[in-house]
Structure formats: structure tokens, C-alpha cells
Structure 1
Amino acid sequence: MRRNTTGAAASLVVLTLSLLTACSSAGSSAENDKAARFAAKVNEAGVGPEMTPRIAKSLYGNDGGAICAALKDNPAGLLLGWGRGTLTATPEEHADDLIAYDRYVVKVYCPEQLDTFEDLADRLNR
């Protein structure tokens, strides 16, 4: 009887590990897909340094990192990244490339925030 209990426990452990691995792989796969899409878009547009999926994954994970977080919590905080302290400050020379780069982050990692992003970018061009 002990053998059946041990076998059942071992089967339960194997099943649990299999499910955890499957869930982890699915998450990693989605993260890898986003990273690959982002790298391809940025490289094609030429708006940033050469990007690889590995670098994109380390910078943005699966949620877009600080850029998407700023859009949710404090959209005006992106102005500092774009070289402005306020809407009336003089933009940095490469602000257009920075905004284009960030737009790809938003499109890939947090597309639900795209309207907020575009509103902020439009305010800069007024």
C-alpha cells in the first residue's frame, strides 16, 4: 500500500512540475515574441541603436518597463526622457527619434496606452 501512495505522490509532483514548466514556457514565449517584434520594428525604422530580441527582453520584459508604467502612472514623466522638463522647454535635437522609439515600445508592449502616448506627443508639437 505504501508503494501506491509513493507512486501517486511522485505522479503528482511530476504533473505539478509539468504544468509549471508549461506555464513558464508560455510566458517566456509571449515575452520572446514581443521582444522579437519590437527589435524588428525599431531596426527597420532606424530610430535607435541596433536592437536584438535579447536586449529588448532585458529592457522591457513583457510589460514595456518604465515607458508603459509612466503612461499608466504619470504620462508627463515621459517628457524628461524626451529631453524636456516641461511642455514649454526646448526639445533636444533627437527628440523625434526618441518619441518614435518610445512609440514602438507602446505599440508592442502596451497598445492600450497608445492614445495617451499620442496625446502627449501631440502636445509637444504645439
Structure 2
Amino acid sequence: MTSPDLPSQNDIHQLLLLGQAAVEAGPGRLVEDAAAGSPPVPYYPKPLVEFFMAAGQDPWIDYQYDIGQSAEMLLSPNAVEQADLARLRSLLTFMVRGERFNDGHWGAMLAHGHLPRWLLRLSELA
């Protein structure tokens, strides 16, 4: 399954609107699970969930993204700020799918400034 077409200007505009609402809503919090010994579970504000749900759909999802490259982009100074739309899409896929393997990943992407940096670069490319 591939999505070769990059997002359109309308797709970008719509995701930027959702992204702004997500940033304004904040990263949420971890909530203690009622079951004894269970790790805390994330509670996310609705705008953050809506952003990541939209980001996990075509044309935003990159079915061939590289987890390692995307993680390195977040740690590398200026990598996000210099990324083209295809690289931003790969990085967004990393952010979306990270929650599947690491509870709290979405909130961390916002709290550590990665999502705001990503949104800024997308707005520059728009």
C-alpha cells in the first residue's frame, strides 16, 4: 500500500488548522490506571486526538517511512527546519505510529516541541 501523492495545499491547510488547535489544547496528561500495578495511560485533549487521527490518513501517511531516520531528524538540529514535504510526511508518520508502541508518545511530541516545529515548517512550505 503506497500513497505516492504528496498532500495538496488544501490538505496542508486543513492539517495546519487541526495542528494549531492541538497545540493550543496541550499535551494532555498521564492518568493512573485503576488496575493495581498497571502503568499510567495517556489522556489526550480532543483536538490532539483529532490532529493525530487526521495525520494517520492518506495523503499524510508514509507507508515506507524509516523509523530510524525519523527519530534522528528529531534529534538533529535544523533537520525539521530544512525538511521538504516528503520528509515531513515521513516524520509525521513516525509521530502518529509512535503512540502504538509507546503510551504518551503523542503528548511527548507536543510537550518537547517536536510537533510545533513540524507545524512551523509545514506552514513555511504551504
TM range (shorter): 0.3 to 0.5
Q: Which gives a bigger RCO, structure 1 or 2 (Cα 8 Å, sep 6+)?
A: 2
Which of the pair has more CA radius of gyration? 1
Instruction: Say which structure is richer in helix.
Output: 1
TM-score (norm 2): 0.33
Higher strand share: 2
With normalisation by structure 1, the TM-score equals 0.33
